[in-house]
């Protein structure tokens, strides 16, 4: 049957996509990736600064998701804490696959590969970046997929999962229609997108181990990262 995005779904998609594009880490922070020290210590410090800035951007973006601020306040926190790593994997994946002339892609990869992360996590991480790149998502799909990730009902400590589920289903319906309209020759494209969410959960588990091994080597995080990742 003919798939059609309604007027209100169009408006919802515009709000989310505009917010996603508006909330980016400041270019002066991103430019720090280009400075010339490349020690493991220096790379870790830079990546910590990027992650901290990215979390701030993520919090601001999340406030623009229609209905999010109407959720129980503690549930809002639980959703942010539960999705921060996954949202940052998605955002950094988009940076890698942007291949902008600014060339941050190469230096970002270089710094991640030399920041004290063990090879067993580096391989799945860059396989994920590659699999995201192969999807050639339009920016609306990127924004909606990040929103679906944030609105995952079964994060730890979420009390009113029903309320989150209702919001997520609204976004999933728009994303499903958008995928059909954007990729008519690939009917299973939406299913492929959702498959990435499963991969994100695996990466999130790896990330917990990455944090533990950094801490074992006495690496320090910022207060914001300690709060969102329950470390220190």
- The vertex-165 CA angle with 227 and 205, nearest 5°, equals 45
Q: Between 195 and 224, how does the x/- string for binding to ligand 034 read (CB under 6 A)?
A: --------------------------x---
Under the binding rule (CB under 6 A), the answer on residue 104 touching ligand 034 is: yes
Under the binding rule (CB under 6 A), the answer on residue 225 touching ligand 034 is: yes
Under the binding rule (CB under 6 A), the answer on residue 95 touching ligand 034 is: yes
By beta-carbon distance, which residue lies closest to ligand 034? 104
- Of 74-93, binders to ligand 034 (CB under 6 A) are 85, 88-89, 91-92
Under the binding rule (CB under 6 A), the answer on residue 112 touching ligand 034 is: yes
- Give the C-alpha separation, 109 to 54, whole Å: 17
Q: How far is the CB of 92 from ligand 034 (least distance, A)?
A: 5
The one-character DSSP state at 32 is G
Side-chain-side CA neighbours of 92 within 13 Å: the count stands at: 24
Q: How far is the CB of 153 from ligand 034 (least distance, A)?
A: 22
Q: How far is the CB of 6 from ligand 034 (least distance, A)?
A: 32
Nearer to ligand 034, 48 or 170 (CB): 48
Q: How far is the CB of 96 from ligand 034 (least distance, A)?
A: 9
CB atoms within 10 A of CB 116: 14
Question: Are residues 109 and 96 in contact, defined by beta-carbon separation less than 8 angstroms?
Answer: yes
What the block records as the tokens of 106 is 């190469």
CA dist 7 → 67, 143, 177, 193, 219 (Å): 18, 18, 13, 24, 49
Distant-in-sequence, close-in-space partners of 52: CB < 8 Å, separation ≥ 6: 222, 224, 225
> Which spans of this chain sit near ligand 034 (rule: CB under 6 A)?
25, 30, 44, 47-48, 50-51, 54, 85, 88-89, 91-92, 95, 102, 104, 108, 112, 221, 225
């Amino acid at each position: 049957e003919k798939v059609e995005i309604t007027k209100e779904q169009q408006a919802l998609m515009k709000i989310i996509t505009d917010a996603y594009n508006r909330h980016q880490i400041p270019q002066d922070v991103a430019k720090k990736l280009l400075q010339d020290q490349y020690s493991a210590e220096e790379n870790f410090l830079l990546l910590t600064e990027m992650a901290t800035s990215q979390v701030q951007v993520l919090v601001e973006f999340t406030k623009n998701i229609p209905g999010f601020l109407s959720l129980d306040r503690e549930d809002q926190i639980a959703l942010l804490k539960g999705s921060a790593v996954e949202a940052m994997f998605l955002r950094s994946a988009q940076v890698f696959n942007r291949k902008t002339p600014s060339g941050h892609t190469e230096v970002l990869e270089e710094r991640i590969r030399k920041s004290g992360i063990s090879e067993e996590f580096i391989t799945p991480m860059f396989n994920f970046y590659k699999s995201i790149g192969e999807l050639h998502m339009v920016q609306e799909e990127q924004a909606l997929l990040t929103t679906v990730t944030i609105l995952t009902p079964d994060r730890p400590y979420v009390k009113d999962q029903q309320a989150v589920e209702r919001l997520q289903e609204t976004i999933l319906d728009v994303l499903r229609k958008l995928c059909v309209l954007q990729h008519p020759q690939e009917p299973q494209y939406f299913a492929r997108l959702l498959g990435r969410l499963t991969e994100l959960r695996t990466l999130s588990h790896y990330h917990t181990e990455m944090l533990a091994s950094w801490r074992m080597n006495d690496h320090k995080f910022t207060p914001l990262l300690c709060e969102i990742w329950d470390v220190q």
